[in-house]
Amino acid sequence: MSGSIVPAQTIESTTVNMAKLHKKRTPFTKPAPLSTRAAIVLDIERMTPEGRGLSHYQDKPVFVEGALAGEQVQVRLSAEHSRFAEAVTEKVLQPVELRRQPPCEYYGRCGGCSIQHMQYGLQLEIKQQAVVEQLSKLAGLKPQEWLPTLTAGEWRYRTRTHLAMLWDKQSKVLRLGFRARKDHEVVEVGHCQVLDPRLSELLPALKALMLQYPHKERLGHIELVAGDEHRALMLRLTAKADAAWLSELTAWCEAQQLQLWLQEGEQTQPSCHWPAPEQGGLYYTLPAFASRFDFTPADFIQVNPALNRLMVEQAMALLAVKPGERVLDLFAGLGNFSLAAARAGAEVIAVEGTKAMVERGNANAQRNGLSAVQFHCADLMADFSHQSWAGRSVDKVILDPPRAGALHAVRHVAGLKPSKIVYISCNPATLARDAAELDQLGYRLIKAGAMDMFPQTSHVEAIALFEPYKRGGQGKKAAAGSALARRYSGRG
pLDDT in tens, 388-425: 999 999 999 999 999 999 999 999 999 999 999 999 99
Instruction: For 56, list phi and psi in degrees, rounded to 5.
Output: -135, 140
Question: What is the pLDDT, as a whole number, of residue 31?
Answer: 52
Instruction: Report d(CA 46, CA 130) in Å as an integer.
Output: 13
Mean pLDDT estimate for the chain: 90
Whether the predicted pLDDT of 426 surpasses 70? yes
DSSP state of 430: H
Q: How far is CA 393 from CA 319, 418, 458, in A?
A: 16, 8, 39
Question: What is the pLDDT, as a whole number, of residue 26?
Answer: 52
Average pLDDT for residues 88-92, to the nearest whole number?
Answer: 95
Q: Is 31 left (phi over 0), alpha (psi -120 to 50) or beta?
A: beta
The per-residue pLDDT for range 301-353, each reduced to its tens digit, is: 999 999 999 999 999 999 999 999 999 999 999 999 999 999 999 999 999 99
* Burial class for 13, CB neighbours closer than 10 Å (0-12, 13-18, 19+): exposed
Whether the predicted pLDDT of 372 surpasses 70? yes
Instruction: Report d(CA 289, CA 338) in Å as an integer.
Output: 11
- Which residues have C-beta within 8 Å of that of residue 279, sequence separation ≥ 6? none
Give me the residues paired with residue 291 across strands: 286
In one letter, which amino acid is 274? W
Average pLDDT for residues 419-448, to the nearest whole number?
Answer: 98
What is the percentage of the chain residues whose pLDDT exceeds 70? 88
Average pLDDT for residues 74-82, to the nearest whole number?
Answer: 92
Instruction: Report d(CA 104, CA 181) in Å as an integer.
Output: 14
* Lowest mean pLDDT, pick from 12-26, 96-110, 212-226, 241-255: 12-26
- Please answer whether residues 309 and 339 qualify as being in contact, where contact means their C-beta atoms are separated by less than 8 angstroms: no
pLDDT band at residue 91 under the 50/70/90 scheme: very high
Average pLDDT for residues 194-222, to the nearest whole number?
Answer: 97
Whether the predicted pLDDT of 478 surpasses 60? no
Instruction: Report d(CA 70, CA 391) in Å as an integer.
Output: 55
Whether the predicted pLDDT of 294 surpasses 60? yes
What is the percentage of the chain residues whose pLDDT exceeds 90? 84
Average pLDDT for residues 436-440, to the nearest whole number?
Answer: 98
Which letter, b or e, does each residue of 88-98 get, where b requires 16 or more Cβ atoms within 10 Å of its Cβ? bbeebeeebeb
DSSP state of 134: I
Average pLDDT for residues 341-367, to the nearest whole number?
Answer: 97
- Which residues have C-beta within 8 Å of that of residue 86, sequence separation ≥ 6? 62, 63, 64, 65, 77, 78, 79, 80
pLDDT band at residue 58 under the 50/70/90 scheme: confident
Closest listed residue to residue 115, CA positions, set 377, 359, 458: 458
Closest listed residue to residue 406, CA positions, set 452, 368, 456, 351: 351
Closest listed residue to residue 370, CA positions, set 389, 346, 406: 346
The per-residue pLDDT for range 265-281, each reduced to its tens digit, is: 999 999 999 998 777 79
In one letter, which amino acid is 200? S
Whether the predicted pLDDT of 12 surpasses 70? no
Question: What is the pLDDT, as a whole number, of residue 10?
Answer: 40
Closest listed residue to residue 42, CA positions, set 82, 84, 92, 79: 92
- The length of the chain in residues reads 492
Which residues are marked as active site?
A: 426
Average pLDDT for residues 465-488, to the nearest whole number?
Answer: 61
- Which residues have C-beta within 8 Å of that of residue 450, sequence separation ≥ 6? 124, 127, 128, 130, 131, 149, 150, 460, 461, 462
Instruction: Report d(CA 225, CA 239) in Å as an integer.
Output: 23
Q: Is 90 left (phi over 0), alpha (psi -120 to 50) or beta?
A: alpha
Long-range contacts of 21-25 (CB under 8 A, 24+ apart): 21/46, 21/68, 21/69, 21/70, 21/96, 21/98, 22/46, 22/69, 22/70, 23/70, 23/72, 25/55, 25/56
Question: What is the pLDDT, as a whole number, of residue 27?
Answer: 55
Question: What is the pLDDT, as a whole number, of residue 472?
Answer: 56
Closest listed residue to residue 264, CA positions, set 248, 242, 280: 242
The per-residue pLDDT for range 112-122, each reduced to its tens digit, is: 999 999 999 99
